[in-house]
């Protein structure tokens, strides 16, 4: 199951997820291969957004997982494992990361990493998975975005490649620790969930409201207590109204 035995370094590419998908289409990629790019000129984020970062300063890469033995209705466990791997990595830098549902890692209320997972399904299980990760390493100016980086938080410059190698180690460790222990995975994920049990502002189809995030269902739907009742949301149905904490 190990990832990272093969790493392909690219200078510039549209998106490492797209590049991985092309290699897969051409039958030219093995399980665990990592595609790392110094620059992405059409990096993609969640909700069809863009992922724009300064070339060379941050980590932008994809990991290809073949024959993932995970049922379609359990695909959220991949998100959980990737999130916990990023938390493990950032904790090594003495940071206190939290998992912002569905696909971000936050430090002190600011985004430090984003994940874009694209699965190919075969009947009831995941056939393979492209895990795209953007991690802010050395960038310091986020021009008004509620974002931060390892450098911003620790004051230290880090080699992007060394951070990648540490991530691969964290991922392999996290996978082995939790893949046969899904209850612990879910518990650990919930322990690290940003804004859990805290009153905060959200927006759903009916407008803005104050609610309390209670957890995430195994399907990946978010549970929020709204006016005394628990409601569940898909990621397109709910928006966090975040405060810019300086």
Residues of this chain that interact with ligand BTN (CB under 6 A) are 15-17, 40, 43-46, 49, 51, 60-62, 103-104, 114-116, 132-134
For ligand BTN, the closer CB: 33 or 62: 62
**Which residues, listed in sequence order, are joined to residue 204 by a DSSP beta bridge?**
207
Closest-approach residue to ligand BTN (CB): 114
Give the residue from 104, 94, 96 showing the smallest Cα distance to 154: 94
For ligand BTN, the closer CB: 64 or 231: 64
For ligand BTN, the closer CB: 41 or 157: 41
For ligand BTN, the closer CB: 70 or 164: 164
For ligand BTN, the closer CB: 32 or 43: 43
For ligand BTN, the closer CB: 145 or 187: 145
Q: Shortest Cβ distance from residue 131 to ligand BTN (Å)?
A: 8
Tell me, letter by letter, the H, E, C secondary structure of the chain: CCCCCCEEEEEEECCHHHHHHHHHHCCCCCCCCEEEEEEECCCECHHHCECCCCCCCCEEEEEEEECCCCEHHHCHHHHHHHHHHHHHHHHHCCCCCEEECCCEEEECCEEEEEEEEEEEEECCEEEEEEEEEEECCCCCCCCCCCECCHHHHHCCCCCHHHHHHHHHHHHHHHHHHHCCCHHHHHHHHHHCECCECCEEEEEECCEEEEEEEEEECCCCCEEEEECCEEEEECCCCCEECCCCCC
Contact indicator for 51, 59 with CB cutoff of 8 Å? no
Neighbours of 184 (CB within 10 A): 11
Q: Shortest Cβ distance from residue 14 to ligand BTN (Å)?
A: 8
Give helix 160-178 / helix 182-191 axis angle, nearest 10°: 130
């Amino acid at each position: 199951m190990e990832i990272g035995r093969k790493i392909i370094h690219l200078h510039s590419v549209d998106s490492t997820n797209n590049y991985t998908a092309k290699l897969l289409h051409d039958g030219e990629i093995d399980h665990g291969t990592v595609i790392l790019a110094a620059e992405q000129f059409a990096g993609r984020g969640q909700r069809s957004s863009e992922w724009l970062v300064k070339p060379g300063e941050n980590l932008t890469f994809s990991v290809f997982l073949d024959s993932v033995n995970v049922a379609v209705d359990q695909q959220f466990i991949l998100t959980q494992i990737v999130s916990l791997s990023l938390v493990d990595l950032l904790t090594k830098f003495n940071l206190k990361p939290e998992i912002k549902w569905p696909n971000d890692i936050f430090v002190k209320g600011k985004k430090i990493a984003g994940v874009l997972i694209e699965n190919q399904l075969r009947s009831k299980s995941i056939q393979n998975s492209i895990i795209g990760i953007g991690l802010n390493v050395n960038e310091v100016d986020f021009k008004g975005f509620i974002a931060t980086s390892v450098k911003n938080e620790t004051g230290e410059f880090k080699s992007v490649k060394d951070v990648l190698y540490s991530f691969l180690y964290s991922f392999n460790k996290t996978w082995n620790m939790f893949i046969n222990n899904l209850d612990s995975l879910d518990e650990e994920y919930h322990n690290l969930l940003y804004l859990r049990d805290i009153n905060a502002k959200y927006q759903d189809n009916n407008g803005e409201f104050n609610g309390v995030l209670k957890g995430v269902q195994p399907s990946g739907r978010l549970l929020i207590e709204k006016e005394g009742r628990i409601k569940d949301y898909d990621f397109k149905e709910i928006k966090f109204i975040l405060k810019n904490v300086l």
